[in-house]
Amino acid sequence: MHYEGEILKKQKRGGTLKKYWFVLLGKELYCYKNQSDMKHKEMKSLAGVYLKDELEEFTDNGVVLHPFMLIFPNKRRIYYLKSREEKDQWISAIKNSTGYASLHDFYELGDNLGKGKYGLVKAATHKKTGKECAVKIIKKKELSLKDLELLKREIEVLKVCQHPNIIKFFDVFENQDSIYIVMEVLDGGDFFSFLHKRKFIITEDVARNIAHQIATAIFYLHELGIAHRDLKPENILMVDKTDSAEIKLVDFGLSRTFGPNETCREPYGTLCYVAPEILLQ
């Protein structure tokens, strides 16, 4: 990827704007004092950098500036363009060279569907296909390192699993503040609520069908060498609110992959559901 053009930067002293010539080569951004210079003033790698669109700014003499921000691992830099068109072209060039994608490039967010442990779940629509889905929005600042590890493990498991009784994973996006997990939308609530609304009385046919779906999903996971390790009614979601609703297993944060000869004796699970022999290790 090669793209170049004039960009304005604020000076550290005084905050005045100064023109520079920038050249994007692959994932490297070069800054020159002048277009004709042979030696660059500085070079920045854009690997792992986040891109953020900024609101328009006005100078003291009324000139409109169109900024965007690059968020590096240890610093942030704002760059200014004279027109919205130039800014859009630079943003597009940087996205193409780095592979960076924003959730809002592909999905339109809708109403809240619920609230989880780490953030909101919102309805969303794919802009091109019109397909409806759910987006789990997790705020990074609310995650500990352990929580982040469990979340990334869940994402990796969901990427692998393709089964009618395991929730479908569509996409994942990340920026400097949040992680967005795009999944299929399910309208029936969890299995505990399903039972509660029926006063915990269901027919033998319904019980058999649900048990069979759970068993086939677990069998599928075990064939892939994956143990869920946190099965409970709250981690089984219903596709809809009918008596014959199909189920989907969710929440693979505590799951783990195993090799053919590996065993696990770690006491994982939710305390009120875990088996006594797990607690006793």
Pick the more confident residue, 75 or 125. Answer: 125
- Residues 197 and 271 grouped into a single domain: yes
- Residues 61 and 143 grouped into a single domain: no
> Where does the pLDDT of residue 253 fall: very low under 50, low under 70, confident under 90, or very high at 90 and above?
confident
- Residues 198 and 178 grouped into a single domain: no
- Residues 127 and 151 grouped into a single domain: yes
pLDDT at 118 exceeding the cut of 80: no
Q: What pLDDT sits at residue 117?
A: 65
Q: List pLDDT tens digits, range 208-222.
A: 999 999 999 999 999
pLDDT at 14 exceeding the cut of 80: no
The residues annotated as belonging to the active site are 230
Domain finish residue from 154, 183, 212: 183
Q: What pLDDT sits at residue 131?
A: 93
CA distance from start to end of the chain: 55
The four Cα atoms 92, 38, 42, 63 give a dihedral, to 10 degrees, of: -60
Domain finish residue from 67, 100, 133: 100
CATH number (domain holding residue 138)? 3.30.200.20
86, 66 Cβ separation under 8 angstroms: yes
> Where does the pLDDT of residue 116 fall: very low under 50, low under 70, confident under 90, or very high at 90 and above?
low
- Max Cα–Cα distance, the chain, nearest Å: 80
- Residues 211 and 175 grouped into a single domain: no
Single out the residue of 210, 234, 126, 237 nearest to residue 173, CA to CA. Answer: 126
Q: What pLDDT sits at residue 150?
A: 82
Domain finish residue from 183, 199, 224: 183
Single out the residue of 141, 215, 224 nearest to residue 178, CA to CA. Answer: 141
Rounded average pLDDT over 262-268: 79
- Tell me how many domains the chain contains: 3
CATH number (domain holding residue 269)? 1.10.510.10
- Residues 73 and 111 grouped into a single domain: no
> Where does the pLDDT of residue 75 fall: very low under 50, low under 70, confident under 90, or very high at 90 and above?
confident
By residue range, what is the domain housing residue 58?
2-100
DSSP string over 40-106: -SEEEE-TT-EEEE---EE-TT--EEEEEEEEETTEEEEEEESSHHHHHHHHHHHHHHHT---HHHH
CA–CA separation, 135 and 152 (whole Å): 16
Rounded average pLDDT over 172-176: 87
Measured in degrees and rounded to the nearest 5, phi and psi for residue 220 equal -60, -45
> Model-level pTM?
0.74
- Residues 65 and 22 grouped into a single domain: yes
- Residues 234 and 264 grouped into a single domain: yes
Q: List pLDDT tens digits, range 136-156.
A: 998 888 888 888 888 888 888
Strand-pairing partners, residue 175, are none
Q: What pLDDT sits at residue 151?
A: 86
Rounded average pLDDT over 94-110: 89
- Residues 91 and 109 grouped into a single domain: no
- Residues 91 and 108 grouped into a single domain: no
Single out the residue of 45, 20, 24, 47 nearest to residue 35, CA to CA. Answer: 20
